[in-house]
Each structure stands twice: as structure tokens, then as C-alpha cells.
Amino acid sequence: MTPTRSGRTLVARASTVVLGAGLVTAVAAPPAYAAEIPTGARSLQSVNVPGAYLRHADYLGSIAAVSSGSSAQARSDATFTVTPGLAGGAGCVSFQAANGMWLRHRDYRIRLEANAGTPVFLADATFCVRDGSATGSVRLESFNYPGRFLRHRDNQLWLDPSTTNPGTFAADSSFRVTAPWAAGRRSPVIKGLYADPNIAYLNGRYYLYPTTDGYNGWSGSRFKAFSSADLTTWTDHGTILDLGPQISWADDRAWAPTIAHRDGRYYFYFSAATSIGVAVSSSPAGPFTDPLGRPLVPAGFRSGQMIDPHVFNDTDGQSYLYWGNGSAYAVRLNADMISFDATQVRTLSLPNFREAPFVFQRGGTYYLTYSVDDTRSENYHVEYATGTSPFGPWTHRGTILAKNLSLGIKGPAHQSVVKAPASDTWYIAYHRFAIPAGNGTNREVTIDPLRFNADGTIQPVVPTL
């Protein structure tokens, strides 16, 4: 019996074997199960109550009839995004509702609750997929209470031991996984671990240029690009710049790129080994090559890390380079886009600035958005300032994007902004901790609308799943 942090007990499937003179306790391999549930949006249909689906209502789990004639709310309540188990475990999964809350058991009742992040919550919200009573159906065994299964009783969902009601238990606890009744979680918009997304509209398509994430110490070495016609379906263009073979002066810490377009050429600015480089291509999807053979902004050029570049093209054709970590810098780029006058670099005064400056212009106002706190903190967030020119002076306007723990959204920042063509519709791309179980080096990318008040200030961004 293994005590958990909550004082509950886990029953290990253990057997004792004698090898020679020694006594060895071994954990036997668990039985093999054919059943599995693919991740993504799914619905689960009862095998013995025709037409009834697993759903939540008033924050409790139940089963109820759902059909194509059901209300949008009823169809949404019967749809869950299946994720790898919050507590881990081979073949174990968790179920997230459209409102961001999770199915978990408490007092043996199945409930819908926000992720408290505690070991008990994570275990209570994890179910291991077992074979069901009918061909192709599944049963869901509790991660931390082996032998108890999610089952319906009086149309409510419970975590019952398999010994209850032997006549009906197997069928009461078996479900067929079906196509979802409603759309599930829409994000992350590009699947996998990516961060620091730079979004741009180029050549008739939206492009995303992120950091490839998931490496200890942010030690990744390749940049990828993705493009989309509608911000929903994204095409992976693969590696567009690989530091190892393509950049002579850096091999790792490939972070936070940005893109600019001038005279039919695309300029890709990137952080590498805490310097900033630039690479050029005739296509926004690359391949890009380094025209300088050295950093554009070398490490040590000014105080702080020389990272997180952004290039803003003003309406008069002048391009500006912004960058920094700890201190924010800006300078006019020369017309060649790969050089600047080092004597003209300005240090910007921005309250709480940490990194990721990103500038855009709307209605004659310049907006400088930036990230505050530490990307490893759930409190990492976005603030902004407005100005009358690309160099300011800047008026601090406060926070526009921050965590929403009830949805499991942590550390949403390192933002970029794009305007849909021929419109006043704006979007903000940013990263957050991957859901579930992400952190400052396991982040994922999403996009939400960016809206303005009548006075030109930015409304708080509503982060969605």
C-alpha cells in the first residue's frame, strides 16, 4: 500500500518472486488493454442507456440524452477535450469541459471543478482507460483509487467499486467514444510546444514564427514557420533556419524571432545565444540565410540580454528595431534592413518592462506592448504603453493580458499583434504554460481577439481555450 500525499492509498499490483537465494519484489506488468481514447474533443455514449451521453450539469457529472436537436449548451456540456492524464500514468487521460474545468471525483461523486493544481486534484482528475463491456467501448478506472470506476447510477456519475451491483456494473461503467457533439478546445492553435509567437500578415496569409519549445534552459536550435489563411488551419513549413549548420556565430538558444518585409525580401530577426541575428529570404517561409556572418546586435552591446527583437514598419516606410530583456531599446534600421547607426540607439522608459517589446500603430497612435515578470512564472503577463511616435514618449496604460487560473491559463505573454487585412479587426498571439502540466519551458501558442475602446485604449484580452 502506497500512501499518497492526501493520506489516501494506492494499491500497487505487486507480486513476489524468488530468484536464486534472493527475495525480489517486483511490480507485475499491468494487464494489457486494447482500449484507448485519442486526445482531442470527444463525447462518450453510455452502452446501456441508448442515446445518453456523459455530461456535466450544475457542476456534477451525469448522463442525459443528446441528439442533433439538442441545444448548443446541451451538446457543449456533453463534449470534453481529452488530454493526457493530469497526474500522468500510461493510458490515463483527463477530461476538460469547454469552460476550462475538469472532471474529477470527490467523495466518490464525479464533479466539474477548476484545476487546483494540487497533487490530490491532479490524481482525482485522472482516469485510466480500460476495456469496456461492449466491443470497442471503454471503462475509466480511477488513477488513485484502483478498482473504482466512473459509472452511472440513477443517471448520476459516481466513482464506484466494481463490486457494486454486479449485474449491471460492467455496462453502467462502459462508454463508447464518439465524435464530439460540439467543438472542443480550439487552442493551442499550432499543436505542440512553441512560445514567443510572432504573428504577421504577409503575401495574403497569416504567418506565425515561434520559438520551438520544450528544451531545458530554452536550448532549442531550430526555427519553424507556420501559415494560415484563416487563423484556424495552420500549415507547418518546417525548419526555416537551423542555427547549427546555418549560423556561424551561434548554435543554441534560438528564441523569439520576428519578421519584416521590404522590397520583395523577407527579413527574419532572431535571438541566438543571447545575441540578435538577421537572415534573409525571398519567401516568408524561407529558407533564410545569414547575410552578415555575425550578430546584428551582439551580446554585451548594451546592458541586459540582447534578445527578443521586433521590427515595426511605419507608414512612411521607415523601419524600427526594438529589443531587450531588462532594458528596452529602439533604433531606426537603415534601408538595407541589416544595419543601424549604433550611436542612435535609444533606451525606452517602460514601467515593469521585462522583455518582448512589440509595436503597432492604429489611428495615428503607437502602441508598445511588452511582457512583465518571468516566463517561468504563472504571473508573466502583458502591459502596454501608447505614444505619438515610434520612439514615444510613452504613456503607461497597464495590463491587458494575465493568467486565468479558473481556466488553467498561466503565464500568458510574449505577445504579438496583427490586423486582419482591410479591416479594423485585430488579434493578439501569445504563449502560455502548456495545458495540462506546462511550465516556463513547456509553452504553447494561442490567438485571441484584441479589442479597443472608443478612446483608443486596449480592452483587457479575454484569454480563451
Mind telling me the catalytic residues? 196, 355
* Binding of residue 115 to ligand FUB (CB under 6 A): no
Type of residue at 269 = Y
* Binding of residue 383 to ligand FUB (CB under 6 A): no
> Which residue from 81, 115, 211, 446 is in contact with ligand FUB, where contact means CB under 6 A?
211
Please check whether residue 53 is in contact with residue 63, taking contact to mean a CB–CB distance below 8 angstroms. Answer: yes
| Shortest distance, position 209 Cβ to ligand FUB, whole Å | 12
80 versus 270: smaller Cβ distance to ligand FUB: 270
295 cis-preceded (ω within 30 degrees of 0): no
257 versus 408: smaller Cβ distance to ligand FUB: 257
112 versus 428: smaller Cβ distance to ligand FUB: 428
| Shortest distance, position 78 Cβ to ligand FUB, whole Å | 37
Nearest residue to 271 (alpha-carbon basis) of 301, 299, 303: 299
| Shortest distance, position 207 Cβ to ligand FUB, whole Å | 18
* Binding of residue 64 to ligand FUB (CB under 6 A): no
* Binding of residue 193 to ligand FUB (CB under 6 A): no
- What is the per-residue binding string for ligand FUB in 237-266, x denoting contact by CB under 6 A? ------------------xx----------
- What is the per-residue binding string for ligand FUB in 288-327, x denoting contact by CB under 6 A? -------------------xx-------------------
Please check whether residue 63 is in contact with residue 77, taking contact to mean a CB–CB distance below 8 angstroms. Answer: no
Phi/psi of residue 122, each to 5°?
-60, -40
* Binding of residue 414 to ligand FUB (CB under 6 A): yes
* Binding of residue 196 to ligand FUB (CB under 6 A): yes
221 versus 375: smaller Cβ distance to ligand FUB: 375
Give CA torsion, residues 444, 202, 338, 372, to 10 deg: -30
| Shortest distance, position 167 Cβ to ligand FUB, whole Å | 57
> Which residue from 45, 258, 271, 319 is in contact with ligand FUB, where contact means CB under 6 A?
271
| Shortest distance, position 165 Cβ to ligand FUB, whole Å | 53
Query: Which residues inside 357-376 make contact with ligand FUB, applying CB under 6 A?
Result: 375
Query: Which residues inside 15-54 make contact with ligand FUB, applying CB under 6 A?
Result: none
137 versus 274: smaller Cβ distance to ligand FUB: 274
61 versus 304: smaller Cβ distance to ligand FUB: 304
Please check whether residue 411 is in contact with residue 379, taking contact to mean a CB–CB distance below 8 angstroms. Answer: yes
138 versus 356: smaller Cβ distance to ligand FUB: 356
Please check whether residue 254 is in contact with residue 222, taking contact to mean a CB–CB distance below 8 angstroms. Answer: yes
| Shortest distance, position 76 Cβ to ligand FUB, whole Å | 33
Nearest residue to 210 (alpha-carbon basis) of 250, 246, 256: 256
94 versus 446: smaller Cβ distance to ligand FUB: 446
* Binding of residue 80 to ligand FUB (CB under 6 A): no
* Binding of residue 378 to ligand FUB (CB under 6 A): no
Binding-residue total with ligand FUB (CB under 6 A)? 13
| Shortest distance, position 193 Cβ to ligand FUB, whole Å | 11
* Binding of residue 124 to ligand FUB (CB under 6 A): no
| Shortest distance, position 308 Cβ to ligand FUB, whole Å | 5
> Which residue from 356, 372, 409, 445 is in contact with ligand FUB, where contact means CB under 6 A?
356
Phi/psi of residue 406, each to 5°?
-65, -20
Give me the residues that bind ligand FUB (CB under 6 A), please: 195-196, 211, 218, 255-256, 271, 307-308, 355-356, 375, 414
